[in-house]
Structure 1
């Protein structure tokens, strides 16, 4: 267990400084607030004059003006109270902004702020924990640390657990309320008198920040934030957050585990290498911003500790910033443009995302040219001496000239980076902040960076010259968004397959690979299975019938209907995407309602609605996501009208009930491929909720249907939807799809024998090739083979568990944080220390650079691993094949680790 070590006596002694002024009287109404604010304004004016005079006199005789001014400013801030002390804590990290000697004066804010008087401490405890004298085995009334808002005391719970109590100082809540209220009024006056203040929009900016400052006194809110950050870093290799004792905490007392480590202001005592410690600190700050979207705004040395083996312990979450999914996307895309030197694009992304109410800026060439120069200067020309403060100074100065400002979210992020980078520069003065930032953003950006590509150009291109020649041919006629020109995550080294048999592929260059894609699902029996070949050959010889009724169409529909039981009816289509489009149209026609709900991260084909919030970009709060398109050209009105839910969330059921009057259907993957699992209890509750409120349930089992079990995930979960979308396997290796479901619903697609009624009440879902005899024959043959050989599913399940176990063992042996999910032939793999439940969090934490690289390392060992890493086994995989895959994975991880792909 970690415990907290006290700093030595000499280091703990604060330099002489005035105590903060006594706290104002209780603010219990608007009148008292105005009176206290007026008093605060007078006091602020008085001490500005006093310290201004002192500064003028001191500068005449001071040997070191920097230190002299720093001491005066420190004394002024300390005298004025907690809100002003926060500014001093930031200054204590900025040896790049002021001299090291000057910064040292402010660093005493980290542990040198005076604690409450003993009587004040007792008053707070009596109010918050009346039985505090008997509640704890021990309670140390001497504070081990004191800050501007609270102080920390050691204690022992009745069960012997050592803890610390973070206790809000007496009167600080009112003091912050008054200080922020006063500053707001001063800014409003200044806004009316001075154009510069109006140009910066200081009033609105401070109004957004003000609640965050006052909330620092709410220990229950801080406990929730600390718990969220603890959960985010659960399993992290070098970051720890003390556990919160929620049942022991109150509004003004936070109880947490006691930890023993070296205080952040004494990082030089850590025996772990300083450059690596600094890099870890920067990595932590960037992880919180880019991945979690929940970041420590004030990561100064007083808010962190270190162990001798380089573990970073984060403390004090009173001031935490939040980046939305849109903010994180904008930040990543902005950095990506800067890394690539695309300055005009970077200006557009920065301005659109982080400059509110200023659309006119992008049409002003003087602004865009000047901002390009700022970005180029900091991200390119002087990047080896990167300074967030310098960049912010130049950027905000330019924005002020154009009567604009940055958003509050970006301001808080800038403060976090500013403070964090100041700390890492103290730990390692030689650190290259921008180079580390580049490596970090590179790991988690949706592209294969130049340095990764260079590793494979010789290795892979020499292996597949003919495939690469087609890929790079400027006259190539085919545009292939699934392989040659893959959307969003482009494949640098696509394969052109000449033949496939069983579980093996042979490309046009003669290389053979064990395949882990199974054609993204259709080939559950393996490529070129005799079952399908025989049926296809026979149907071809019978004439390849389409657009007319044929015996194979009837046979396939009957096999599908029998698999789901009851009075199931079936409509055939040409693909899984088509089946989704058909199902949604049938649902709208049947219910007479227009709106559709879907789940975040669930992909339903490439239709406009199927891709909403599907697999790459997300928006809004996790509990109530905003719909967002994952493709340009999608119909905006349709996207906006989609209700987006979270799988497994009780809140989703409440939202369905709330919107039931307008919802035709809810569509979802009952067993999401990226999660390789299902939630039977949630699916049951979902169906019950929708039935109760007259909303249809559509299961998209295009991937899971007849793969995870005969019938699909619904047979495993024991739930029956109104409609089921099918594809992949039911085509027997050829393009095919179907909608199966309750007779009364499916018959919405059947003619009424009255053309006028049809146009008013029936859904048209026809297609020239739907139910063509070749596809139908192949599909029926494969499904009947699966039905008659149930041991296939048993074997696939055991093979899945076998390979999953071997992959996990290999990752542990190499020491690479890896999440391997696998069930019933479906696998997903990500390099992440956490186990997030939401798809948005899985995407945020995944090491995309390593994920893409793994595909190519595996390729060099004779295994084709799909770059998107949804792996699908088939019946043709033997245990020997899986051993080859596991060995290739172990060798690939070792090679990648030795070449610096992973952070330990």
Structure 2
């Protein structure tokens, strides 16, 4: 089987290469570039789904390939050859187990999109609901298996003759990617992935994921809500600010990775739709990336340390969470740390060029290879998501820089459902530890009621004495009260925490704990005139109209203090 496949591969490669050379020789330079692009697109199409998938990824890399190549390869994102009408009708009826007319009131047998593995049709259910039907093409599963067996043979041969390939465990990496590609032909699995992501984004302001009709879907057929938007491959038709649209795409991907832990694994233009109002509609969840809580923590804390230029902390976190086969690293950790630190400083701090994910991963991988180490399996998948996301985001907005802009000007978000939108909008968020950001306090001094330093785990952020002292000085100069929430000062008002270690005393400290037996305990401490602003008058109506709420984690305000005192008094009298 492999011998036959290898012969086919070689024959097709030679045929298309000869055609490209022959056509290119007869054309001017611009025409030759187009001819080569057409040759590559046709070759990948003839070779099958695995090669088409490679072409889809390449089509997002406008920063690496000529414009003519990008334009031609974009065809692979939604215009790959599809099954004919008779073949489609037979396939749908076969997978439903009954004539398609018994399930669908209408069914357009001409697909609206056709990619490497499946084609998509518009239809109407018997009740009148418009749906999209994703149909796995006949023979695709076998074609993928054949393609992968050929490539596996080639990879193992390369690994056999190349020490560098063995060092990278190339065959193992290939097997991991093979599992991802093989799973793409399972529409039941894709439907479950899609449902999970849809639930995570339920109620989101601009991200939409179509609902799945699980009852009439199966391994070869996925029936879902029809989304009406502009395909990502037709981006020019979207009437929405490009910079904001690119930022929204980036935010959606980062939300899935850093918060949800379940992320779309293939965010190329063929898998996204947009509206003129800036909505993002995600489809095709055949590949997803899943991160455990520990991996999410590792990824977030690593990049957080990088943006704060805490290089030693960043190196330790990256190595602990995402590096395997680290025996050589452990023996020469100092040398390794210096090499990785140089890469991080270059990309996050010193480079004045636009951020490049591909250059960043290339440089990191070079250091790991030097020390006989490698990325973890999951970090490899995260890398692929970053590459696709960056490539598409840069097509939307060529000027986007994923680590610029709001890095030190974060936007407030609602922490819980039901949060007052005005309270969120009227909150100014500063980046802890970024002294330059304190100038934003001066810009908004007339609008500020107070500055609150929120809790932050010690494993994420150190006690930044210089920053806290600068913050205290700025608040004094502007006449704005400084409030510490409990973890900043520790559960110690008079000693310990920031007040002793940094010599920074806030105007108010809010405390809250649950002590033995589940009894809530809240307290506030600080300047009397500020505490009195929140002290209860025992008239809840007067308090609502005239007092300010001051509370910590367990609502350490005067009401909870009074309630706690009453509970203690009762327990004392009724042991």
TM tier relative to shorter chain: 0.7 to 0.9
User: 1:76 matched to which residue of 2?
Assistant: 43
Alpha-carbon separation, structure 2, partners of 1:259 and 1:50: 41
Q: Aligned to 2:263, what secondary structure does the other structure show?
A: strand
**Counterpart check, 1:375 vs 2:344:** yes
Q: 1:289 aligns with which of 250, 254, 257?
A: 257
Which residue is equivalent to 2:56? 89
Note the C-alpha offset of 1:314.
Answer: 0.6
Q: Which residue of 2 aligns with 1:48?
A: 13
How far the C-alpha of 1:165 sits from its partner, in A, is 0.5
SS of 1:112's partner is coil
Which residue does 1:230 correspond to in 2? 198
Q: Residue 165 of structure 1 aligns with which residue?
A: 133
The answer on 1:480 being equivalent to 2:447 is: no
2:163 is equivalent to residue 195 of structure 1: yes
Sort the Cα spacing of 1:147 and 1:869 in 2 relative to 1 into closer, same or farther, 3 A.
farther
Secondary structure of the residue aligned to 1:156 is strand
2:505 and 2:74 map into 1 onto residues whose CA distance is 49
SS of 2:319's equivalent?
Answer: helix
Moved more, 104-113 or 59-68: 59-68
Matched, 1:507 2:526: yes
Residues 76 and 329 of structure 1, relative CA distance in 2, 3 Å threshold: same
Residue equivalent to 1:865 = 551
Question: What does the per-residue CA deviation read over 1:822-870, in whole Å, with 9 as the maximum and x for residues that have no partner?
Answer: xxxxxxxxxxxxxxxxxxxxxxxxxxxxxxxxxxxxxxx954232x475
**Structure 1 residue 366: deviation in Å?**
4.0
Report the 3-state secondary structure (helix = DSSP H, G, I; strand = E; otherwise coil) of the residue aligned with 2:76. Answer: coil
2:261–2:291 contact (8 Å) kept in structure 1: yes
> How many Å apart are 1:242 and its aligned residue?
0.5
Pairing of 1:266-665 with structure 2 (within 5 A) = 266-364=234-332, 365-382=334-351, 385-436=354-405, 438=407, 448-450=432-434, 455=441, 456=451, 457=471, 460-462=475-477, 463=479, 480-481=496-497, 484=499, 493=506, 495=508, 507-508=526-527, 510-512=529-531
> What TM-score, normalized to structure 2?
0.76
Other-structure match for 2:222 = 254
1:547-601 Cα shifts (integer Å, max 9, x gaps): xxxxxxxxxxxxxxxxxxxxxxxxxxxxxxxxxxxxxxxxxxxxxxxxxxxxxxx
Q: Which residue of 1 aligns with 2:29?
A: 63
Contact 1:222 / 1:317 at 8 angstroms: preserved in 2?
A: yes
* 3-state DSSP of counterpart to 1:251: coil
Shift of 1:375: 1.4
Unaligned runs of 5+ in 2: 414-428, 442-450, 452-470, 511-521, 564-575
C-alpha contact (below 8 Å) 1:51/1:72 kept by paired residues: yes
Contact persistence 1:442–1:449 (CA under 8 A): no
How many Å separate the matches in 2 of 1:485 and 1:141? 74
Is contact 2:239–2:276 with CA below 8 Å preserved after alignment? Answer: yes
**Alpha-carbon distance in structure 2 between the residues aligned to 1:472 and 1:160:** 58
Q: Structure 1 residues 67 and 405, CA, compared in 2 at 3 Å: closer, same or farther?
A: farther
Q: Distance in 2 between matches of 1:496 and 1:332?
A: 28
SS at structure 1 position matched to 2:403: helix
2: distance between equivalents of 1:91 and 1:278? 19
* Aligned partner of residue 154 in structure 1, secondary structure: strand
Q: What is the alpha-carbon distance in structure 1 between the residues aligned to residue 527 and residue 558 of structure 2?
A: 23
Secondary structure of residue in 2 paired with 1:512: helix
Cα distance in 1, alignment partners of residues 82 and 488 from structure 2: 68
Aligned residue for 2:120, secondary structure, equals strand
Report what 1:185 is aligned to: 153
User: Structure 1 pair 360/131, CA: closer, same or farther in 2 (3 Å)?
Assistant: same
Aligned partner (choices 38, 61, 74) of residue 107 of structure 1: 74
Deviation at 1:382, TM superposition (A): 2.3
Q: CA deviation at 1:52?
A: 4.6
For the residue of structure 2 that corresponds to 1:142, the secondary structure is coil
Q: Which has the higher contact order (CA 8 A, sep 6+)?
A: 1
Distance 1:137 1:446 in 2: 55
- Give SS of 1:180's match: helix
Alpha carbons 2:48, 2:143 under 8 Å: kept: yes
Higher radius of gyration, 1 or 2:
1
Q: Distance in 2 between matches of 1:188 and 1:120?
A: 37
Task: Find the partner of 2:559 among 858, 874, 893.
Answer: 874
Could you say if the C-alpha distance between residues 89 and 465 of structure 1 is closer, same or farther in structure 2, counting changes exceeding 3 Å? closer
CA 211–171 in structure 1, closer or farther in 2 if over 3 Å, else same = same
Higher helix share: 2
Q: Is 1:143 matched with 2:108?
A: no
Which aligned pairs between 1:766-805 and structure 2 lie closer than 5 A?
Answer: none
Distance 1:69 1:367 in 2: 42
Alpha-carbon contact 2:258-2:300 (below 8 Å) kept: yes
Tell me the alpha carbon deviations over residues 189-234 of structure 1, each in whole angstroms, 9 at most, x when there is no partner.
2222211210111111122222211010100100000000000101
Question: Aligned-pair distance for 1:184?
Answer: 2.3
Q: Deviations over 1:583-634 (max 9, x none)?
A: xxxxxxxxxxxxxxxxxxxxxxxxxxxxxxxxxxxxxxxxxxxxxxxxxxxx
Deviates more, 1:434-443 or 1:38-47: 434-443
Partner secondary structure for residue 435 of structure 1: coil
User: What CA distance in whole angstroms lies between the structure 1 residues aligned with 2:20 and 2:164?
Assistant: 26
Aligned to 2:467: none
Q: What do residues 264-306 of structure 1 show as CA deviations (whole Å, max 9, x unaligned)?
A: 1222222221111111111111111111111112111111111
Q: Which residue of 1 aligns with 2:425?
A: none
Give the direction of change, closer, same or farther, for the CA distance of 1:467–1:114 in structure 2 (3 Å limit): closer
Deviates more, 1:121-130 or 1:81-90: 121-130
Residue aligned with 2:79, SS: coil
Q: How many residues are paired up?
A: 494
SS at match of 1:396: helix
Answer yes or no: is the 8 Å Cα contact 2:481–2:507 preserved in 1. Answer: no
Q: CA shift at 1:62, angstroms?
A: 5.4
Give the distance between the partners of 1:221 and 1:504, measured in 2 at CA: 51
1:244 aligns with 2:209: no
